[in-house]
Amino acid sequence: MSKTWIIIKREFMNSVSKKSFLILTILTPFLMAALVFVPLWMASIKDSDQKLVGVIDRTGNYFDLFTNDESYQFVPVLDIAPEMRTGDSDYEAILEIRDNLAEHPEAATIYSSKEISPDLTRIVNDVLGEQIRKDKLARYQIPELDRIIDDVGADFEVRTMKWDAEGNELISNNAIAMIAGMVFMFLIYMFVMSYGGMVMSSVVEEKTNRIVELMVSSVKPFQLMMGKIVGVALVGFLQLLIWGCMLAAILAIAGAVFGVTPPAEPAMAGAPMPEMSEGAEAIEALRNFNFLEMGLIFVLNFVGGYLLYASFFAAVGASINTQEDSSQFMMPVVLILIFGLYAGIYGAENPDGPLAFWASLFPLTSPIVMLVRVPFGVPLWQEILSIVILYATAALFVWISAKIYRVGILMYGKKPTVKEMIKWLRYK
């Protein structure tokens, strides 16, 4: 056991001490946040220059509908000048309205010497579309018909609540549940692929450098393999811990921004819930998640899924001589994981459907798909059954991989076939 611990410590320190680990661990949450918020922030920044839009209104009924803003200034134009066609004028675009749009909706056209911005197209469509609607309603000569239609067509969105174990009412949000499930699903996928790949790369590197020949003279191949697997797993848990702390800080800041205060007493059944903004409700719904259950299922699925795939990666790394040789063995694994991703994505629409159910029990996909179902509520027996099947399969994979690792780690210059690797399982 002491020798295995030495291998674990060595793998852990080698990974943690790398600058790439420190940079990725600290910067990844900020990079993910930047990918979401920076485009939104940049999209909200308006151009400081007000663009001229010429309006040729041959009906005289529509020009007054347009109002200037910080982006566009609408000015009347009698006709399209030659310089407008060549882009030599100060006009960004020319809007021509040739006839009554309620009767001839095709009688409006925007001209420009370059592609017209979606923002300008949206403004023109909204303004003219609203006027066309009013003109068509006016034909019916029914007093206040537009108000009646607006009232009848009012948007409605039902408020969702859920009961906790004590029967108290808590704010829920299926969109937030879906997003949370997707986030945890992608985390599992990313960790299994990245850390499993780290195990394989470490094995191939030591095999190529012939260092492994010295190591197996002091430790058993199984101890060496498990030391690598556990050492890299500890690196993953360290990253999860750091990211979890950063997530808690982000949630606290988001709660302060949206004005969400820590809940006092939960609302009893039948008691009205206080009014909240959409942002506040989303943060409150996120807080009402059973993070203890979600975290426990995530850790169990991460450990089981990682053991299953990392042992396979270790066996592959021991059987090949270069990284390039791994493609034929890696392709089936990648296809299975991609299938798990798609099963999780489609299963989120129907978490209790047959696809989500069976994929959450199948051990090669259950670590991914089960994480999508948990936020929507999964029966305890399904969670337990999924975990039991996963760990039983992982134990079988570890045993098989140890057999292959023991022989393949000292084999050089030959690319083994699958048939030969099966024979290795019979060696004592």
> By residue range, what is the domain housing residue 135?
51-151
Given phi > 0 = left and psi -120 to 50 = alpha, else beta, which region is 84? alpha
45, part of any domain: no
Report DSSP state, residue 276. Answer: -
33, part of any domain: no
Q: Of 168, 188, 186, 178, which is closest to residue 374 (Cα–Cα)?
A: 178
Instruction: Give the tokens for residue 68.
Output: 């200037």
C-alpha–C-alpha distance, residues 351 and 287, integer Å = 21
User: In this structure, are 206 and 345 located in the same domain?
Assistant: yes
Instruction: Give the tokens for residue 24.
Output: 């990725």
Q: Where are the alpha helices (DSSP H) in 216-277?
A: 221-257
Element of type H or E holding 346: helix 327-347
Instruction: Give the tokens for residue 420.
Output: 């030969």
Report DSSP state, residue 325. Answer: G
31, part of any domain: no
User: In this structure, are 290 and 349 located in the same domain?
Assistant: yes
Last residue of a domain, one of 94, 118, 151: 151
pLDDT at 244: 74
C-alpha–C-alpha distance, residues 310 and 384, integer Å = 22
Given a contact cutoff of 8 angstroms between Cβ atoms, the answer to whether 319 and 421 are in contact is yes
User: In this structure, are 320 and 418 located in the same domain?
Assistant: yes
34, part of any domain: no
Per-residue pLDDT of the chain (428 residues; tens, 9 = 90+): 577 788 888 888 887 887 777 787 777 777 766 665 566 566 656 556 788 999 999 998 899 999 988 889 999 998 888 888 887 888 889 999 999 998 888 889 999 888 888 888 999 999 999 889 888 888 877 777 777 777 666 565 655 665 555 655 555 556 666 777 787 788 888 888 888 888 888 777 777 777 766 676 677 777 878 888 888 888 888 887 887 787 677 666 655 654 544 444 444 444 444 454 455 555 555 565 666 777 788 889 888 988 888 888 888 887 776 666 666 677 888 888 888 888 888 887 788 888 889 998 999 999 888 888 887 778 888 889 999 999 999 999 888 888 888 777 777 666 777 777 777 777 76
User: In this structure, are 110 and 256 located in the same domain?
Assistant: no
User: In this structure, are 136 and 190 located in the same domain?
Assistant: no
User: In this structure, are 147 and 182 located in the same domain?
Assistant: no
17, part of any domain: no
User: In this structure, are 144 and 222 located in the same domain?
Assistant: no
User: In this structure, are 266 and 209 located in the same domain?
Assistant: yes
User: In this structure, are 112 and 205 located in the same domain?
Assistant: no
Give the number of other Cβ atoms within 10 Å of residue 390's Cβ. Answer: 25
State which amino acid sits at residue 367: P
Pairing of strands 91-97, 51-57: parallel
pLDDT at 148: 75
Question: What is the chain's alpha carbon radius of gyration, rounded to the nearest angstrom?
Answer: 31
Q: What is the pTM of this model?
A: 0.62
138, part of any domain: yes
How many domains is the chain partitioned into structurally?
Answer: 2
322, part of any domain: yes
Q: Which CATH number covers residue 143?
A: 3.40.190.10
- Chain center to CA of 308: 23
User: In this structure, are 204 and 295 located in the same domain?
Assistant: yes
User: In this structure, are 129 and 219 located in the same domain?
Assistant: no
C-alpha–C-alpha distance, residues 300 and 421, integer Å = 30
139, part of any domain: yes
Last residue of a domain, one of 151, 184, 199: 151
Last residue of a domain, one of 118, 151, 184: 151
User: In this structure, are 210 and 311 located in the same domain?
Assistant: yes
Element of type H or E holding 67: none
C-alpha–C-alpha distance, residues 5 and 13, integer Å = 12
Q: Of 91, 73, 70, which is closest to residue 81 (Cα–Cα)?
A: 91
